[in-house]
Chain A
Amino acid sequence: MNVLATTGLGKRYRRNWALKECSVSVPAGRVVALVGPNGAGKTTLLHMIVGLLSPDEGNVTVLGKPAGTRETMSRVAFLAQDKPLYEGFSVADMLRFGAHMNTRWDDELATRRLAELGIPLDRKVGRMSGGQQAQVALTVALAKRPELLVLDEPLANLDPLARHEVMRGLMAAVAESGMTVVLSSHVVSDLEDTCDWLVVLNQGRVQVSGAIEDLLVAHRLLTGPAELADGVAARLSVVDDSRTGRQATMVVRAGSPTLDPRWTSRGVNLEELVLAYLRRPDAAALSGPVLAGA
Chain B
Amino acid sequence: MVWLTWRQHRVQLLVAAAFVVVVGVLLFVHASRTGTLVAPSEPDSVRRRNLLDSQFGQVGRFLLFSAALPALIGLFWGTPLLAREYERGTHLLAWTQSVPRQAWLGVKLAGLGAAVTAAGLVFGFAIYAWAGEFAPTRSAGRLANQELFVSTGIVPAAWWLFAFAVGVAAGAVFRKLLTAMAVTLGVFFAVYIGVFNTDARLHYATPVHVEETAPADRGEPLLINTRSGVEDRLPGGALMAATGWLDRGGVPLSNAETWSCASTSDYLACMRDKGYRWFAEYHPADRYWRFQLTEAGALLVAALALGAVAWRRS
Contact = CB atoms under 8 A, between A and B. Distances in A.
B89 A102 contact: no
Interface in B1-20: 1, 3-4, 7-8
A235 interface: no
Interface string A246-268: 00000000000000000000000
Contact of B97 (A73, A84, A85, A87): A73
Interface residues of A, number: 30
B98 A102 contact: yes
Contacts of A85: 90, 93
Interface in A88-147: 89, 93, 96-98, 100-104, 137, 140, 144
B90 A100 contact: no
Contacts of A61: none
B98 A101 contact: yes
A63 to B, nearest CB: 13
Nearest to B98: A74
A103 B3 contact: no
A78 B4 contact: no
Give the 5 A-B CB pairs with smallest separation, nearest first. A101-B97, A80-B92, A74-B98, A84-B89, A78-B96
Given A78-B96, A80-B96, A100-B1, 19 more contacts: A50-B96, A51-B96, A52-B96, A70-B98, A70-B99, A73-B96, A80-B89, A84-B90, A84-B93, A86-B90, A86-B93, A89-B7, A93-B7, A101-B94, A101-B99, A102-B99, A103-B98, A140-B93, A144-B98
Contacts of B100: 69-70, 73
A81 interface: yes
Contacts of B99: 70, 101-102
A77 B3 CA distance: 21
A73 B102 CA distance: 13
Most buried by A among B1, B94, B96: B96
Nearest to A103: B98
16 contacts: A51-B96, A70-B98, A70-B100, A76-B96, A77-B96, A80-B92, A80-B96, A81-B92, A86-B90, A89-B7, A101-B1, A101-B97, A102-B97, A102-B98, A137-B93, A140-B93
Contact of A52 (B4, B8, B88, B92): B92
A140 B94 CA distance: 12
A190 interface: no
A241 interface: no
B96 A82 contact: no
Interface in B212-260: none
B3 A96 contact: yes
Contacts of A96: 3, 7
A81 B1 contact: no
A205 to B, nearest CB: 25
A69 B93 CA distance: 15
A100 B3 contact: yes
A80 B3 contact: no
B88 A87 contact: yes
Interface string A25-44: 00000000000000000000
Nearest to B97: A101
A94 B198 CA distance: 50
A84 B1 contact: no
Contacts of B88: 84, 87
A77 B97 CA distance: 7
A89 B90 CA distance: 12
Given A70-B98, A84-B88, A87-B88, A100 B93 contact: no
Interface string A158-198: 00000000000000000000000000000000000000000
B1 A78 contact: no
B95 interface: yes
B4 A101 contact: yes
B4 A97 contact: yes
Given A89-B7, A97-B4, A101-B1, A78 B98 contact: no
A130 to B, nearest CB: 14
Nearest to A100: B3
A97 B95 CA distance: 12
A89 B10 CA distance: 12
B2 to A, nearest CB: 8
Nearest to A88: B8
Contacts of A76: 96
A80 B97 contact: no
B73 to A, nearest CB: 20
Contacts of A100: 1, 3-4
Given A70-B100, A96-B3, A101-B1, A86 B95 contact: no
Contacts of B7: 89, 93, 96-97
Interface in B72-123: 88-90, 92-100
B294 to A, nearest CB: 41
Contact of A86 (B3, B8, B96, B97): B8
Contacts of A97: 4, 7
Nearest to A69: B100
A169 B78 CA distance: 39
Nearest to B103: A70
